Each structure stands twice: as C-alpha cells, then as structure tokens.
Amino acid sequence: MEKTNLFGRFDVVSDDSDHQFLRSNNGHCFSNSKSEVYKAIMREWKTLEQNLPESIYVRVYERRIDLMRAVIVGAAGTPYHDGLFFFDIAFPSDYPKHPPLLHFHSFGLRVNSNLYTNGRVCLSLLNTWIGNKREKWDPCESTLLQVLLSIQGLVLNEKPFFNEPGYERERFVVLQSKSRAYNDLVFALT
C-alpha cells in the first residue's frame, strides 16, 4: 500500500492526446471562469481531490477542464480484484443539467453486462439505463464522485452475473452456479 501513496489519487496532467472525447467537445466553451459550468466542474475537482477512496484515481487536464480520466481498481472479494478499469469522462456544455459522458476502455472484452465493448457504460445515474427517479441524475445533487462510487460498488461487484436485467431479484440456486462460472470467466479476463 505504500507505493500507491506515492501515486496521487487526484492530479492535473497535460497530455490529453489519447482521450476518447478529445474531439467531441469544444474545450473553448469551458474557458470562462465566471460561467456556471466552469464553477460546477471546479467543484467536482475539489470534491474528487478531497474525497476519492484509495481505489479510485483521477487525472484532469490543465488545458481541457471538461475532460477527465478515472481508473478504478477492482475490489478484493470480486472477480475484478486488482484489475484496472479505465474510464474517459467528458462534461457536457450544460453541466450539471445533464450527467457527464463516460467511455469505458474495454480493450475488446465484455467483463460486465453494464460495460460494453464499444465503451458504453450502462448506469441509471448516467441516464443510460432505466431507473426510478431517485436513481437518475439530479442536477442539484448528483456528482461525478457518486458516479464513480456507483460503478465501483454496483457494477464491479462480487456477483456481476446478477447485474443482468431480470436477475437482480431472482437469485435461484441454479443461477448461483452460473454466477460462479461467470465470476471465474471475468477474473480470467481481467
């Protein structure tokens, strides 16, 4: 654990050249430090800098405050244990009215029913999955930290087989063996 302390959980970097959303947003629309969007993103930076758990790392870009990259380390007791899961993040120009956009770096592997090989992240909080009103993005309350913690706890969990729609309430004995087999496969992939 000593080595991870040398690598900061939150840091500002300069090279954004390989970011998934580099060309999809206009970085210039985020340069007005008096705008509400700019202020909202700076609040996110502060929240992340002060509250990230030891297993989540975030890099922000000095020239593009609308872009971030997060790495979530898979938790012990899950098939994702010690795996590194990379997410590119872009704030929309009307943030926080709409949630941030996330892209999962799958490297061609489908390791979870909520994380697609094309990078799509399926999560109610991102408004990319159906959910009740309290699970959806709330511009007044929701944060990027909440999104990252949701991915860590709800998606990269100990029984990802049950993330598949229809299985969340029906944990039959037969499905338990399928869940174990799925965990073994996911562990091997990650």
- Which residues are catalytic, by number? 122
Across 23-44, b (16+ Cβ under 10 Å) vs e yields: eebebeebeeeeeebbebbeeb
List, edge to edge, every strand of the sheet that includes 56-61: 10-13, 56-61, 67-73, 84-90, 101-104
Chain position carrying tokens 């007791």: 77
Q: Is 158 exposed, middle or buried (CB count within 10 Å of its CB: 0-12, 13-18, 19+)?
A: middle
Give yes or no for a contact between 148 and 127, defined as CB atoms under 8 angstroms apart: no
The terminus-to-terminus CA distance of the chain in angstroms comes to 21
Q: How far apart are CA 138 and CA 173, in angstroms?
A: 37
